[in-house]
Structure 1
Amino acid sequence: MRSGPKPDSDLTKHRNIDTVRQLQHLMVLCELLPPGSRLHEALTIALSINEPSLPGRITPVRDLHPLTTKTWLESLWDPDLISPEEMELVAWQNNKAKMDAAVEEMQKIERRIGIRLATEKIQ
């Protein structure tokens, strides 16, 4: 709820504006997910996980090459180290039909809003 009109300002100079927009784009994407869709299902599983050991397993990814990120993700989701809840998320991802449907849903939303949720390496 707004408290009243805000004065004009240069949003390009707003502190953390890029991150604010990323969050807002993610919120719009989530809002557009049909309930029961495959992507909605996967994100619901991910959001329900409260795994205290995950932060200790995280290391920054070296680069964004698909093989590097695959190895990085596999290190996070090592079957010997993860909880049953995390294993459910891993199993979901390994179901090709579910992942293909989620990719299609994501791309449909991206085309609709004209914004791609992209992975970018930070320094």
Structure 2
Amino acid sequence: MRSGPKPDSDLTKHRNIDTVRQLQHLMVLCELLPPGSKLHEALTIALSINEESLPGRIRPVRDLHPLTTKTWLESLWDPDLISPEEMELVAWQNNKAKMDAAVEEMQKIERRLGIRLATEKIQ
């Protein structure tokens, strides 16, 4: 099976190629998650949430400083505003042992791929 455009073309000019590669990177990362791993567990919880109210709570993050992003995430996961399913995700990520294991799993996959899933501010 062949991937990408069939005729030779300049992929740097392909519409939305950066976003396509981000999606593909995310797919490969998910494929490499061992079933039962902590990161697999967290992402399964996140993907199972069908939360209608989250879009109304989303505001663009101002900058990527760790304190700013912490405050931003806390505004999304305000215990008074979230569903029980979202609360499960919040509780999961607040469990240090689980988060440490997930970080280790993520870093192992990143080393294997030679690329990192990175957060980047857009304009």
With the shorter chain as reference, the TM-score category is over 0.9
Counterpart-to-counterpart distance in 2, 1:72 and 1:115: 26
Stretches (4+) displaced over 4 A? 1-5
- Measured against aligned partners, the alpha-carbon deviations of 1:44-72 in whole angstroms (never above 9, x if no partner) come to 00000011000000000000000000000
Q: How big is the shift at 1:6?
A: 1.0
Counterpart-to-counterpart distance in 2, 1:4 and 1:100: 36
Q: How big is the shift at 1:3?
A: 10
Identity score, percent: 97
Cross-structure match for 1:19: 19
Written as runs of structure 1 = structure 2, the 5 A alignment for 1:29-68 is 29-68=29-68
Q: TM-score, normalised by structure 1?
A: 0.97
Counterpart-to-counterpart distance in 1, 2:13 and 2:5: 19
- The number of residues matched between the two structures is 123
Counterpart-to-counterpart distance in 1, 2:109 and 2:49: 25
Q: TM-score, normalised by structure 2?
A: 0.97
Q: How big is the shift at 1:5?
A: 7.8
Aligned alpha-carbon RMSD (Å): 1.6
- CA change 1:98–1:2 in 2 (3 A) is same
Counterpart-to-counterpart distance in 1, 2:2 and 2:39: 32
Counterpart-to-counterpart distance in 1, 2:20 and 2:3: 20
Q: How big is the shift at 1:2?
A: 5.6
Residue segments in structure 2 that go unaligned for 5+ positions in a row:
none
Counterpart-to-counterpart distance in 2, 1:2 and 1:121: 33
